Structure 1
Amino acid sequence: MNLLQSPTSSSTSVPLRSPKFPPVFSHTPAFLRNCSFAPSFSRVSRRKLSVECRRSEYFEQHQRFNGPADDSSPQSTGALPPRVFVGHSIYKGKAALTVEPKAPEFAPLDSGAFKLTREGFVILQFAPAVGVRQYDWSRKQVFSLSVTEIGTLISLGARDSCEFFHDPFKGKSEEGKVRKVLKVEPLPDGSGHFFNLSVQNRISNVDENIYIPITKAEFTVLVSAFNFILPYLLGWHAFVNSIKPDDPARINNANPRYGTDAADLEWSR
C-alpha cells in the first residue's frame, strides 16, 4: 500500500501504514518522536490592505463638461472615450476625393465651464490618378471648408456654381505665395458637379490642377453628411449635452457676458 499522500487529498489526512513494514518513525530517536512538527498559525498576524483609486483630471473636467455618465459608459470607469476617425472617399478615373470632418476645439474656464475657441471644419483631399484605380497621395492637395463654405455647398442647386479662394498665409509675410482656388460647377448635362482644385505654391514650386466629376447621387451623399455634421462643427452638441433642468445658472438667468439673461432684455422691450 502506498505510503505517499495523494496530491488531491486533504492536507490533514494521515498516510496508511502496512503491518508488513515497521512504523515510519521506528528508527527515530525518542526525543524526536515526542516532538510536534505541525506549523503553528497562532503567531501569524494578518495585515489589512487598502486600494485607493484616483480618477484623472481629464475625467473630472469631462464630467463637468458632459455631465455624469451612466454606469455602462466608458467614463464611469475612468477610461477615456475612444477616438474615432471617419471619412468618405470618391474614386474616379482622373482623381480621388476624400472628405474628413475635424472637431471643434474648446478651452476650460476658471468657472469650470468650457468655451468654444475654434469651430470645426471639413477637409477635402484631392489626389491625382497615376493608373487604373491607383492614386498618388504623396501629391495630394488639401482644401479646408469652413462652416460658411459648407453652407454654400449645401445650398447649391443643380445649375448653381460657387468658388472659394484661400491664402493660408494671409496677413503674414508669406502672403500671396500660396494660392488655392476651389471651383464647383455644374456638369454640362446636369448630372452632377465638377470639383476643380487649383493650387499655386511658389514656396515649394508647385502648380497643380486636380478636378473630379461628382454625380448627383454622390453630391447628395455629401450634402446629407454636411447637414448632419454642421451643428457638431459649431459645437452646439456640447451645449445641448450640458443642459440640466436643475442648473443654478439657468434658474438664476445668469449670463456671464451681459450680467442678465439676453432673452429677458429682448422680451422686456
Structure 2
Amino acid sequence: MMLQLQCLSSQTLNPKLCPFHSLSNSKGNGFGSISVTESTSIKKKKLYVKCRQSEYYEQKSFSASPSNSSYAPTDVAVGTLPTRVYVGHSIYKGKAALTVEPRGPEFVSLDSGAVKLSREGFVMLQFAPAAGVRQYDWSRKQVFSLSVTEIGSLVALGARESCEFFHDPFKGKSEEGKVRKVLKVEPLPDGSGHFFNLSVQNKLINLDESIYIPVTRAEYTVLVSAFNV
C-alpha cells in the first residue's frame, strides 16, 4: 500500500519516476492502479525467450560437432592416406577424341610406420581416331603418359610456344627402340589454341600411326586445371 501511495504521489509530480509501471484510471475512484504483476510477467517472458534462444544455438553448435565417440571421424591408420578422387576431361573433335585422366601417386608402408613414395603421379592421355560422325574407335586408341616434369612443361607453355616429348616404353629392356612415341604440342596458326599430335611407331606389330586433335585455348585451360590436381 505504501508503494502504491509513493508511486502515485510521484506520478502526480513527475510521471518519469515510475517508468516500468503502467498506470490506468479506474472507473470507481480517481486513483490509478499499478499493474506490477504485468510488468514482472513481461520481464520473465523476455528472460524466458532469451534463455530458449541461447539453448537453441548451443544445441545447434553441439549437433555440428558432437562429442560422442560414435560420431567422431575415424582415425586414418598409420601408413595409409585418405582416398582422393581425380576427375578427368574429354575433348571430341571431327577427326579424333582426347581423354585426360590424372593418376595419383602411390605409396608403400615402412616397418617404422612411415610411408614412402613408390610411384609419382602422372596424367594419361588417350587418343582415339574418329570412326564416323561423333563416333570414335577406342579399340585403336594410343596412350601417352605425362610425367610430373612434362606436366610442368605443358602448364608453363605459352600461346605461341611448342614442346615435344619422346617416350620408349621398353627403354632399358631387350626390346628398346622397337616402340617409339612422340607427342608434339604446337600452336594453331591463328593463335587460338594448340595442336596435340601423337605419333606412334611400333615395329612389333608393324604399326605407324599419327593422331592429332586441335585444342582451343579454353579447352587447354581446362586441361591445365586437370594437370594441377
State TM-score, norm by structure 2. 0.64
The runs of at least 4 aligned residues of structure 1 exceeding 6 Å deviation read: none
Q: Distance in 1 between the 2:85 and 2:227 partners?
A: 18
Matched to 1:134, the amino acid is: Q
The count of aligned residue pairs is: 156
The residue number in structure 2 matching 1:172 is 173
Q: Distance in 2 between the 1:173 and 1:142 partners?
A: 21
Matched to 1:109, the amino acid is: L
Matched to 1:99, the amino acid is: V
Quote how far apart the aligned CAs of 1:84 are: 4.7
Are 2:74 and 1:63 equivalent residues in the alignment? no
The residue number in structure 1 matching 2:194 is 193
Structure 1 residues 85, 222: closer, same or farther in 2, change over 3 A?
A: closer
- Matched ranges for 1:64-79 at <5 A: 64-65=78-79
Q: Distance in 2 between the 1:189 and 1:131 partners?
A: 27
Q: Distance in 1 between the 2:209 and 2:86 partners?
A: 28
The residue number in structure 1 matching 2:107 is 106
The residue number in structure 2 matching 1:92 is 93
Higher alpha-carbon Rg: 2
Deviations 1:89-126 (A, max 9, x none): 00000000000011211111111111111101000000
The residue number in structure 2 matching 1:28 is none
Matched to 1:63, the amino acid is: A
Q: Distance in 2 between the 1:65 and 1:117 partners?
A: 13
C-alpha RMSD of the superposition:
1.9
Q: Distance in 1 between the 2:122 and 2:101 partners?
A: 9
Gaps of 5+ in 2: 1-73
Deviations 1:215-253 (A, max 9, x none): 0000011112212x1xxxxxxxxxxxxxxxxxxxxxxxx
The residue number in structure 1 matching 2:131 is 130
Gaps of 5+ in 1: 1-58, 68-74, 76-80, 230-269
The residue number in structure 1 matching 2:148 is 147
Quote how far apart the aligned CAs of 1:170 are: 0.6
The residue number in structure 1 matching 2:159 is 158
Structure 1 residues 184, 147: closer, same or farther in 2, change over 3 A?
A: same
Matched to 2:148, the amino acid is: V
Quote how far apart the aligned CAs of 1:65 are: 3.7
Quote how far apart the aligned CAs of 1:66 are: 5.7
Structure with more of its chain in strand, by fraction: 2
Matched to 2:122, the amino acid is: F
Identity value in percent: 79
The residue number in structure 1 matching 2:205 is 204
Q: Distance in 1 between the 2:227 and 2:86 partners?
A: 16
State TM-score, norm by structure 1. 0.55
**Further displaced range: 120-129 or 105-114:** 105-114
Quote how far apart the aligned CAs of 1:85 are: 6.2
Matched to 2:78, the amino acid is: R
Quote how far apart the aligned CAs of 1:209 are: 0.3
Are 2:205 and 1:219 equivalent residues in the alignment? no
